[in-house]
Chain A
């Protein structure tokens, strides 16, 4: 099939924006999104392109004559498998191992496939991480089953509420509230020993570690809009977790 210049450029734009959108939705750093899009554009002979990436939208201008395009990013999650796959596609496109059409089809496949681990495996992972942190932070072995169970429970609660309401901060608030109540009950009933280490271990899976890292990384790279908004998101998350625990402790 012979493509005219116009449709080829349209396809190229769609392809770059889709790659940027998948990267941004799944937790890549802003500079990586910009870098990937510019590299893909250069490989398609668009040497004078500019893009502006924020956590809520991407603008891309291929050159002086062509129209600028924009995509909105609504939901953000953490799925590093997709980041790695898009990265691989862009590497192949730049190395001329894929045509533009093939790259676009692969990106669409990545966008539509669900790569997440089984939900139960994720819950088990959250519980394991909680248990490990309890011991690493100096908790007693007696508290291990509590941290294991509460960490998993907190994760289940957050994921369930997130699925129903789509309000991230509310879900995190309720999750940490439940962890706090459970931990206090465990110590009150005489089975648990140290309330504080149980709570710290159990809330570890909810801590916004990726957001904080990305926010600082973006600020240092000069992406102030992205850095500040990711920082605000991380702060709100931390505040929701802290608020839930504080509410329990204040009684």
Chain B
């Protein structure tokens, strides 16, 4: 595996998705960096331990953590940074293989690929949500203070 090449390509791909989703111009480079983080975590985990589902979970977790920190820094919604970073982890090739096998009447193979695709999309979702819960726990005190300031809590 060629690390610098993959890092560059994932950066470029996530940045390109930033353009397609029309993220604010000054966040485009950050979007690319988030995508690169996610992909590098995913690839290294997969190469070291060989489990694509766990690797996807780790990648999505990393994407969501970095996206949260950037969202705090730029004072923008987190979704701006997470969406482009998630795209490289979406199980496109597994879903494609599942469909190709269905068309070719290899239903057993198709089920195998389809369940893998399902597990991986579940892992993406779990990674995002876990990171969010973690960040909420960390920033709970801060959030409470802000809520009191704008009067969302009674006291």
Contact = CB atoms under 8 A, between A and B. Distances in A.
9 contacts: A27-B79, A80-B22, A81-B24, A121-B19, A132-B16, A205-B20, A210-B21, A212-B124, A216-B128
Contact of B19 (A125, A214, A238): A125
Contacts of B152: 38-39, 42
Interface in A116-166: 116-117, 121-122, 125-126, 128-129, 132-133, 135-137, 155
Contacts of A220: 125, 129
Contacts of B22: 78-81, 115-117
* Number of chain A interface residues as a range: 35 or more
Contacts of A125: 15-17, 19-20
B125 A87 contact: no
A128 B16 contact: yes
Interface stretch (A12-20, A68-76, A100-108, A241-249): A241-249
Interface in B18-50: 19-25, 27, 39
Q: Which of A79, A88, A245, A249 has the most CB of B within 10 A?
A: A249
Interface of B: 5-6, 9-10, 12-13, 15-17, 19-25, 27, 39, 75-77, 79-80, 82-83, 86-88, 90, 92-93, 95-97, 99-100, 102-104, 121, 124-125, 128-129, 150-152
Given A39-B150, A129-B16, A220-B125, A209 B9 contact: no
Interface string A217-244: 1001000000000000000001000100
Interface of A: 27-29, 32, 38-39, 42-43, 47, 78-81, 83-85, 87-88, 91, 94, 115-117, 121-122, 125-126, 128-129, 132-133, 135-137, 155, 196-197, 199-200, 203-205, 207, 209-210, 212-214, 216-217, 220, 238, 242, 245-246, 249-250
Nearest to B9: A132
Contacts of B5: 135
A136 B24 CA distance: 26
Contact of A135 (B9, B77, B90): B9
